[in-house]
Structure 1
């Protein structure tokens, strides 16, 4: 169905800029500024070369191409084709033989066939120069056909050579081509078989060509500057081999020559100092990464190599009809392959560049040839295969940059048009529009999928992306229609007061225009979009329904009473809604039916209700901010061991919900989720505030340096113990009580064998936080049930059976807040446990246990303090919080016990005879959690958590030699896994991960470091050169 007169007039006025664009000129057949301007609209994704124009890059690319072909041919039989021809042309013949065929046959191009391009008869002109692009002497006939000879010539015609075709395609004059041949002839004299990648072409050109080879001095100077700029780009600015300080002198000499060449042409004679300096600098830079004769690096750095290669690839298009590939494309691409060694190109880079060139040509020619887009997609399939084959291997950084840059540009250009395809493709014939839209969709989805798969990202499927394009473009089209109707001055949006009748008339007309837009979308675009989306017309209709609904709500929000104008607007909205819903049904768009929210008169009330909800949420947020400023985490009372701020917040939330469900408005349910989300966000913010109490790492002591035990004599050890014991000084605990440390035993001066709990005020505040989180969680569940009950239709008049069924329904309004609370409980319990063990109980546990000797510093005093702390914990925490809190204390205790054994510092050492006492202490520690707290931690849980500690204690019972063997096995296994199965001879120092385990090399090494044994000390000295303890 074509657009109506009014909508068509609107799109003609809105698309004036598009009609003037090069893409639109080519798309609709109107005269445009040409493909050069169109190409300018698509920026090169690979960047630009400073000081080198597009023509300079094209000429340099041809020079590299010719050099690679000539040097590759050398003096072999293959090079015979380069030595024949008239006028010194030396190039393989095209147009005869099995590959090219004869002049009147259909050319059978393998590349065209693979890309899905149609073959043309050779009688059709293949290439021709534009007027003024080259001089008359450099414009031969079409490649593959005969070149007409002057009248009277004995030879009537001959087929064009590859050199002639490529020179013509690259717009190189015969004079420039002759200079290039002259240089290469001199360079390759006596060097049969010299490879192209060993020739620094710009330097050879500067050496061989003098001022008489050019028309005038200005041309010579400009040519010389181009060659120097090319060398600068390849050797310094974009070198494939990084520069370092060793090449500073060469860079400086090169810069000096360049500065001299800026003012006037330098003397390139053999006796010239400037030329000698240039040669020395260039040769030093080009050969810095490889021995002479292998390969020099002057044109293989990114983006120089890619720009040169892309310029070559652009030469495969017919100059007369730039939407067509030359019939000789197979031969030309085969010859371009010879430049790969010089430019550092491989097959994968070629595929990416070739895909970009085909896409660029499709855009530059105004998107009038879908076959070009199809060819680009065919090459992108090869790119996808390349990317998939390299997923398990490290990426080449140059390939990764070219890949992401080129495909990103293709995707971005396509998506820019798809996000507003009504503007880009809605102003021409239906066939032209759909063809261009299909190409853009294929390119965007194909490139996006390849990019996503290359980085192992979750790729949005094609239907989802097309859904997004439809919605964005429909919104944009609706906005343009709306702005056209409002005369670019939207009173409802900008806030300017309009006449009521005027506004009502605008909305009534807008409803008609929206319906017309929907019909146009279904007739022109939806049939094509159905290839990628199951119900595109339904999505478009749902989007337009939502767009008009937004405008309608804005209008109704300003209404103070029901008027005739309001009735007309509602009637127009009803007709529009009926048409759009019918479109959704016809398109089988059941998944989007729920998006079509019916237009309702009660929307006026919804506005007031929304304001009320926002106000209540604002009050809740103020309550939260007040809690953050004033909360000190002290319990309200012994019977209410949670924070006052939580009570205030929950009372406010309950009152808000009660008032909300008391409002007698049927449209209330539409605001229910907004209210629930707002309250849920406040709850989550408060839970995050509760959980902001640091982390366990802040309480873990640092690991001491690895040392080996001193091997003092028995008499000396007894003397040290006797000397240290009388000097024990009373220590002050964190609670201010004087305690005495004797051989690691901590006994309170006030408590004797019944020490007071060491739980600090800070830890008790963490317990209040735990109680508060449980209080919040229980109230969130109650509020969620209330929301589910009332939203499902429950109320005061509901029957008991229905009430039971509704209350049993799943509650999901505050799932995020509930999940956040559960996470916060685990976090706060863990922090509280580590603070209790490593901070509050550090004197009796980590600092005192086994300090100075195992026999004199057993775990019993620490267990007495631990039991008192657990008793206090149980008395302070609510029942629901106790199991997880005690379990975290158990984990922290086992962690502290392990750190005493493995990272106890210089004042702890163990012998094999200590194993029995340590094992007995571990059993006592386990028994404390199994028997204390009336079953808060199950015995199997205690056993599971103690497995690591039991493994380390068992290891301590082994001989030093056996521990050394286990260290060797563990280290060898780890090293072999890291090095791919080839362990080194010497044992490396294991990495410290704090993941203690009997099979962990670091754990075994630390057992040896704490082993008071001559064999262990000698092994540590010999294997790791560890120092003795001081």
Structure 2
């Protein structure tokens, strides 16, 4: 404790502090600021320094000897310099024996053991009293408990000397009177004058502090509530206000002092039962808690922030103030728990022992809360636990930001104390809980589940921002694909790092975490799918990433819930499928429909331009058929190049569409060549004949009728689409298409074996047939053959007969 014996007098100006309990040395050394005080505000301008000095006065007064011997003041420096066992020192000790008790650096603290605290390094054989040593060595430790308390409470030696002188004077004039029967601010105001202080400003500050203490303890926060018509209270209020404006005469026989004493003693002598002979000026709520908290702070080393090794002796002294401050065991447990937790926070959350000690003390508070219904206690208990719970939840509701591998060991304690505080607040204070207790609410599990869901949502939002920032021209990966990978990594981290800790309070911690992540990603994926209009590589990549992520999350949830009562059914119900495969299938079906519709349009356009010219190629079939089969082959290649895992499932949709397109081509190809009926000659009209009638034959009617048939069935030039060469081209074309169907079927099976998701036996038993096209080709070939035969027989030969008739002039 490097600052214990700096001889420079501390400035007694009463600088204010935002929280009231943070020692300046500790504040300088700590990496985190202290928490705001959970105790109600006093409503008066009493700074931390004011309260600390007042608490020290109470401590010294409560620890002094009450015997009949006059008390003699001995400065602390002299007492510390004297050997502890010196008879002269013992004889001249005017203060309490407890204050002057010597400290032993190696003494084991029972209280530290009970709290699970180790002895600090500074006490292990460093500079014990009387050991001697060079001036440049480590600063020596206090020789007595009283000196330790003075140093811990940062009271200067001059101020300590003045307090002890004042107590000696009071004891000399009121021999045998106990400290709890005095109003210390009143007695000090009467004992000291401006000449007792180094300068008038310090005296004025001191005098103002004592007047404010009287106002706070007797008017603002009295033990027994005041009546509005209480004359003593009105008179005291007037005296204090007047004293702020002009100096108050503090002589023993001055009228103003007598009036002040009368009013103060009248108010301080009141009690609930009317039988108390003590003075109640510092035991009103919450003034007593503010004063006692200053004393509790002395239990923590000013520099290191750890509990002092002399905690047992310090606690003995603190208990002596209980009667003056109206403190009991329950209030002490509450104040000490808060101090332990507050110092853990000020340590930068690295002193896990303080957190563990606070948790142990909180167990005592839980017992106390079940046995008392005191409204003031319940009020401050609720405020204190709410402050602890608020601090812990601020970190646990986003524990991915708070904890990592370097500080994960503190998470167990923080969760434990946060859950314990919540349990006390809900089960022992909440009236609402008592009314609904039949529901058997599991407070710990409920809070931990809240922490998990909140933290994972926060972490997910952060990963979203990071994924968006990762996408760039150099990394064109879709954001949701990047996010899926990051969320998968986050789920693994949650499972391995955080869930083992949280399982203490929630057996399905991992399952709840992945269910939350599944929901968060699902919401983003749903918006993405709703905006899709076509199948793109980015779309397929996102949906495949989502499918993989879902499988990973579900596996973690199933593993985590194997031993649960319902086998994890409740968690799985929270994870509705993404249906990424369905989304992919729907988009592929749209893609197939677009390709098939495009092919049908191509068939319509190209067959209108087809001339069926036998000289178009060596094979004597239509070029449009070659082009159509090439387009179909490209469509199949494009389909199997799609980066999807469900080619076999969607292949029937594609082959059916292609089959219908081929059927359309064949149908249009055969429909343009007519039927056999188109070339069937017309029968002559029936002629009614009678016996003896003569058959008249008009020579030129027959050629005229044949000319009509010729005009109906085609022209006589070489471009006749129904000419024999054109019909043969159509016939060859259908035969060529029918032959290529087998090649298409082989191509499809080969592609199926090569796709990413293919299995070894994927084509076993697979029957791929272009049945519609096969049937259409068979029917078309038969129809064209019949048409050609009829055309040759009845049209081409008939045209020859007409030529002969015209040439010869007769009919054979």
Interval of TM-score (by shorter of Structure 1 and Structure 2): 0.5 to 0.7
Is 1:60–2:75 an aligned residue pair? no
Query: Is 1:92–1:161's contact at 8 Å kept on the other side of the alignment?
Result: no
Structure 1 unaligned spans of 5+: 1-31, 127-141, 489-497, 608-1030
| Of 521, 529, 536, the match for 1:548 | 521
Aligned to 2:335: 353
SS of match in other structure, 1:325: coil
- Contact kept, 8 Å, 1:107 with 1:121, in 2: the verdict is no
Residue 122 of structure 1: how far off its partner (Å): 7.4
Residue 574 of structure 2 aligns with which residue? Answer: 595
Aligned residue in 1 for 2:110: 110
2:409 matched to which residue of 1? 435
Give the number of equivalent residue pairs.
Answer: 530
Residue-by-residue CA offset, 1:455-505 (whole Å, 9 max, x unaligned): 3624434233222211111111111221343469xxxxxxxxx99999982
Larger Rg: 2
- CA root-mean-square deviation: 3.7
Cα pair distance change 1:276/1:37, threshold 3 Å:
farther
Residue 563 of structure 1 and its aligned partner are, at CA, apart by 3.7
SS at match of 1:245: coil
Partner of 2:401: 423
Q: RCO greater where, 1 or 2, for CA within 8 Å and sep 6 or more?
A: 2
User: Of 524, 549, 565, which residue of structure 1 is paired with 2:538?
Assistant: 565
Residues 70 and 172 of structure 2 are in contact (CA less than 8 Å); yes or no, is this contact kept in structure 1?
no
Task: Select which of 199, 206, 209 maps to 1:226.
Answer: 209
- Equivalent residue runs for 1:176-187 within 5 Å: 176-187=159-170
User: Partners of 1:116 and 1:76 in 2: how far apart?
Assistant: 43
- Could you say what secondary structure the match of 2:555 adopts? helix
1:280 CA displacement: 2.4
The answer to whether the 8 A contact 2:546-2:580 is kept is: no
Which of residues 305, 310, 320 in structure 2 aligns to 1:328?
Answer: 310
| Residues 588, 245 of structure 1: alpha-carbon distance in 2 compared, 3 angstrom cutoff | closer
Aligned twin of 1:261: 243
Alpha carbons 2:426, 2:443 under 8 Å: kept: no
Return closer, same or farther for 1:83/1:563 CA change in 2, 3 Å cut-off: closer
How far did residue 318 of structure 1 move? 1.4
Match of 1:90 in 2: 95
Alignment of structure 1 residues 12-161 onto 2, 5 Å: 34=28, 38-70=32-64, 73-75=65-67, 86=78, 90-92=95-97, 102-103=104-105, 106-120=106-120, 123-124=123-124, 145-146=129-130, 160-161=143-144
- Aligned counterpart in structure 2 of residue 310 of structure 1, from 263, 271, 293: 293
CA contact (8 A) 1:95 1:159 kept: no
- Aligned-pair CA distance for 1:77: 10
Which residue of the partner structure matches residue 371 of structure 1?
Answer: 353
- 8 Å CA contact 1:515–1:580 kept in 2: the answer is yes
The 3-state SS of whatever aligns with 1:90 is: coil
- Corresponding position: 1:338 with 2:311: no
Matching of residue 242 in structure 1 with residue 251 in structure 2: no
Distance change in 2, residues 1:123/1:285 (3 Å):
closer
CA contact (8 A) 1:206 1:268 kept: yes
Contact persistence 2:27–2:346 (CA under 8 A): no
In the superposition, relative to structure 1, how do residues 263 and 596 fare at CA in structure 2: closer, same or farther (>3 Å)?
Answer: same
Cα distance in structure 2, aligned partners of 1:83 and 1:303: 34
SS at match of 2:283: coil
Does 2:519 correspond to 1:514?
Answer: no
Shift in Å, 1:380? 1.3
Preserved contact between residue 49 and residue 304 of structure 1 (Cα < 8 Å)? no
Shift of 1:441: 0.6
1:954-994 Cα deviation digits (max 9, x unpaired): xxxxxxxxxxxxxxxxxxxxxxxxxxxxxxxxxxxxxxxxx
CA 1:373–1:150: 2 relative to 1, 3 Å: closer
What are the Cα deviations for residues 929-974 of structure 1, in whole angstroms up to 9, with x where unaligned? xxxxxxxxxxxxxxxxxxxxxxxxxxxxxxxxxxxxxxxxxxxxxx
Compute the displacement of 1:252 (Å). Answer: 3.0
Counterparts of 1:109 and 1:526 in 2: how far apart (Å)?
36
Take 1:211 and 1:401, find their aligned partners in 2: how far apart are those partners? 41
With structure 1 as the length reference, what TM-score do the two structures score? 0.48
1:399 aligns with 2:377: yes
Given that 2:63 and 2:98 are in contact with CA atoms closer than 8 Å, whether structure 1 keeps it comes out as no
Look up the match of 2:498: 525
CA contact (8 A) 1:358 1:375 kept: yes
Secondary structure at the counterpart of residue 333 of structure 2: helix
Equivalent-residue separation in structure 1 for 2:514 and 2:189 (angstroms): 67
1:121 Cα shift? 6.8
5+ residue gaps, structure 2 = 1-25, 80-92, 587-812
C-alpha separation between the residues in 1 aligned to 2:303 and 2:140?
22
Q: Deviations over 1:398-439 (max 9, x none)?
A: 21112222122212221221111111223xxx1x42222111
SS at match of 1:111: helix
Task: Report if aligned partners of 1:203, 1:279 keep a CA contact under 8 Å in 2.
Answer: yes
Paired residues for 1:497-512 under 5 Å: 505-512=478-485
* Structure 1 residues 121 and 158: alpha-carbon distance in aligned structure 2, compared to 1, 3 A threshold: closer
Q: Could you tell me which residue of structure 1 aligns to residue 447 of structure 2?
A: 465
Q: Deviations over 1:848-889 (max 9, x none)?
A: xxxxxxxxxxxxxxxxxxxxxxxxxxxxxxxxxxxxxxxxxx
**Alignment pair present for 1:582 and 2:555:** yes
Tell me the distance in 2 between the aligned counterparts of 1:228 and 1:167: 23
| CA offset digits 1:240-260 (Å, max 9, x no partner) | 21110342x333333333333
Matches within 5 A, 1:653-692: none
Shift of 1:577: 1.4
Give the 3 Å change call, closer, same or farther, for CA 502–33 of structure 1 in structure 2. farther
Instruction: Specify whether residues 534 and 145 from structure 1 end up closer, same or farther in structure 2 by C-alpha distance, changes over 3 A only.
Output: farther
Distance 2:577 2:29 in 1: 49
**Shift in Å at residue 86 of structure 1?**
3.2
Partner Cα separation in structure 2 for residue 546 and residue 372 of structure 1: 38
**1:163-202 superposed matches below 5 A:** 163-189=146-172, 191-202=174-185
TM-score, with structure 2 as normaliser: 0.60
